[in-house]
Structure 1
């Protein structure tokens, strides 16, 4: 097996997240056990831009809170990582990106940059769902997290969610519930011990009834380029790639905001509920 250089991008949240992964010939990549788990989790928590876990694996990371201006930071961050690694874009074998769900603008940013760079380099892209990235992050941080309910605040009083089970024999996640959009009360808890990953528990509190059944809640297992790169490396080696011109976001939600009528109806309903409370 030859050396693999993979670039991973995620701008699905308020963070601009970039990771550059270099795996030497014959290297297995990052595993979710022992010191490698600590390495991956440490990098995810921002433990320096250039980190080496062992001789055959090196990773460089940028994960910065940029708010709405991630599009202006993404390309400079990519250039910085290649400079630190002593590599060039021409060394890259594939480009992975957080496909969604998430911020509409952020998803288009990561998809567009991945598509443009990959097209120019004539290399494939690897789309990775952001909810699966949350599951991957939870497993890297805790190897016991082999069943993961990933749930993210989708705003507009809804949550994105999906259910995953780690197949140790295959070395891959199985998707038991595809990425969906629901009110927090409608999210279905898995029928086995599970970790709840993502920020939905913090965002919705008791309304996220599935949280009460979780064996653990990992609110730090969020979209991040490092676990994205980890998942993308497996996909790349398994041949689950796309041509650059096939890259596309996975929005899940088909509209970005409520209509005026919906906002007025919601306001009226809230005022009506407040009035009912006042006359009791």
Structure 2
């Protein structure tokens, strides 16, 4: 068995999960702008509920972004501190891929996923995934773009096997007519990542590549907004 603690504070939710095989303890609370004050007490409660020692952890999973700058730093810092104390590794997981993981398991027929998170400033964090043996695999790269920089949505036939996830699709930032029509037919139901799905994603990644678990000092955030580009051409799925 692999005993994991997963942390996600990249959005308004403070999301924590402990997982060891089929045994799961989790906490998922909406606490906008309260993560720094609430995460440690919530973590202490969760560990007390489980009865596990922190030193029994095999790895600490954290949402490395993209998302709230402050939230990403909190998750990375907490993960690093706990991993150092437990003498275990950390596994960074993408918040976009975490949402894709949940969406792919919610519908076994899905083959492709588009994930969009609200990045504020009328922009979105966007990524496209192809489901391969139960794992959403990134196609292209994670991007910070406006809705009008999105490439064309899948055609009607492909859309039957495509799902949308993330609160970015629910913004009023202005989508093209083709995307608006697509969203009307298939609205996103998942909004923000949950730590338990970060744990599930980490396990799937770990099975494929044990090197995804790294030393605590490598618990780094991924912001995307510091990738400045002047190229306005759509890039998702190219």
Same fold at TM > 0.5: yes
- Counterpart of 1:258 in structure 2 is none
Determine if contact 2:122/2:173 at 8 Å carries over to the other structure: no
Please say if 1:179 is aligned against 2:142.
Answer: yes
* CA 81–211 in structure 1, closer or farther in 2 if over 3 Å, else same: farther
- Counterpart of 2:33 in structure 1 is 68
* CA 254–120 in structure 1, closer or farther in 2 if over 3 Å, else same: same
CA distance in structure 2 between the partners assigned to 1:205 and 1:180 by the alignment = 16
Please say if 1:121 is aligned against 2:91.
Answer: no
- Counterpart of 1:203 in structure 2 is 171
- Counterpart of 1:241 in structure 2 is 213
CA distance in structure 2 between the partners assigned to 1:128 and 1:211 by the alignment = 30
Deviates more, 1:213-222 or 1:181-190: 213-222
Which secondary structure state, in structure 2, belongs to the residue aligned with residue 254 of structure 1? Answer: coil
Mapping 1:2-41, distance limit 5 Å: 3-23=1-21
- Counterpart of 1:212 in structure 2 is 181
CA distance in structure 2 between the partners assigned to 1:61 and 1:99 by the alignment = 19
Q: Which residue of the other structure, out of 55, 77, 94, is the alignment partner of 2:59? A: 94
CA distance in structure 1 between the partners assigned to 2:146 and 2:173 by the alignment = 13
Deviates more, 1:157-166 or 1:234-243: 234-243
CA distance in structure 2 between the partners assigned to 1:144 and 1:150 by the alignment = 17
Give unpaired runs (5+ residues) of structure 1.
Answer: 24-56, 256-280
Determine if contact 1:133/1:222 at 8 Å carries over to the other structure: no
Determine if contact 1:138/1:218 at 8 Å carries over to the other structure: no
Give unpaired runs (5+ residues) of structure 2.
Answer: 228-238
Cα offset for 1:205? 6.6
* CA 212–74 in structure 1, closer or farther in 2 if over 3 Å, else same: same
- Per-residue CA deviations over 1:80-123 (Å, capped at 9, x if unaligned) read 12211121111110000000000000000000000111122221
User: Number of aligned pairs?
Assistant: 218
Determine if contact 1:196/1:211 at 8 Å carries over to the other structure: no
- Per-residue CA deviations over 1:161-219 (Å, capped at 9, x if unaligned) read 00001102xx4222103110011111223564311111122113752653534673323
Cα offset for 1:234? 1.6
* CA 129–114 in structure 1, closer or farther in 2 if over 3 Å, else same: same
Which secondary structure state, in structure 2, belongs to the residue aligned with residue 81 of structure 1? Answer: helix
* CA 211–242 in structure 1, closer or farther in 2 if over 3 Å, else same: farther
> Which structure is larger by alpha-carbon Rg, 1 or 2?
1
